[in-house]
């Protein structure tokens, strides 16, 4: 199948893909929310779509979908304190994952998920430490964030291969 999707796209198509994937990130983040009272945060399955966006469509769509989609879910859920943090952290998660992904090697896809997940875990840890104080409940959210990236990777890597295969049959390539 070659390199991951080579989208020969106009800015309009890039905006449309980013908006569509951001909506899917929002829904997947908002539908399952397990509160973490100590941090006023929550565990979710939105990373499945953040990683899928990045692995299939690359760093631009992954970054926009991750940042925008996840922060909209925070808004809808009433987690206003985390909206700016989420926008930056999840945006970087999608961007980093998309930059590393090549669509050809499962090891590289796993590395993309691991790197993006590391950005997410460390970004939230730093933000929560700043907001809640060092030695705070920020440590309590780390296992939940590890769970999120684990589920995200286990679902998004095979899903991204299937989506790229389908897109390839329609002559859609990643750019």
User: Crossing angle of helices 70-77/11-31, nearest 10°?
Assistant: 40
Q: What local confidence, expressed as pLDDT, does residue 168 receive?
A: 73
pTM score: 0.90
Q: Which CATH number among 3.30.1330.40, 1.10.275.30, 2.40.50.140, 1.10.1760.20 corresponds to the domain 11-169?
A: 1.10.1760.20
- Tell which residue, 148, 157, 159, has the closest CA to residue 97: 157
Contact criterion met (CB below 8 Å) for 75 and 140: no
Q: Which candidate, 27, 48, 55, places its Cα nearest to that of 147?
A: 48
Q: Compare 131 and 92 and report the one with higher pLDDT.
A: 92
Q: Is the pLDDT of residue 88 over 90?
A: yes
Cα separation, 145 vs 47, whole angstroms: 10
pLDDT in tens, 93-141: 999 999 999 888 999 999 999 999 999 999 999 998 998 877 677 888 8
Check whether 22 has a pLDDT greater than 90: yes
């Amino acid at each position: 199948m070659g390199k991951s999707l080579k989208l020969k796209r106009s800015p309009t198509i890039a905006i449309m893909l980013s908006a569509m994937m951001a909506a899917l990130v929002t829904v997947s983040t908002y539908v399952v929310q397990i509160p973490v009272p100590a941090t006023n945060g929550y565990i979710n399955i939105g990373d499945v779509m953040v990683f899928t966006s990045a692995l299939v469509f690359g760093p631009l769509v992954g970054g926009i979908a991750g940042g925008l989609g996840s922060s909209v879910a925070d808004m809808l859920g009433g987690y206003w304190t985390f909206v700016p943090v989420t926008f930056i952290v999840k945006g970087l998660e999608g961007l980093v994952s998309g930059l590393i992904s090549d669509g050809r090697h499962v090891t590289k896809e796993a590395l993309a998920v691991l790197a993006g997940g590391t950005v997410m875990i460390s970004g939230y840890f730093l933000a929560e430490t700043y907001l809640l104080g060092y030695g705070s409940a920020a440590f309590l959210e780390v296992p939940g964030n590890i769970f999120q990236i684990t589920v995200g990777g286990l679902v998004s890597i095979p899903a991204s291969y299937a989506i790229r295969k389908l897109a390839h049959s329609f002559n859609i390539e990643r750019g």
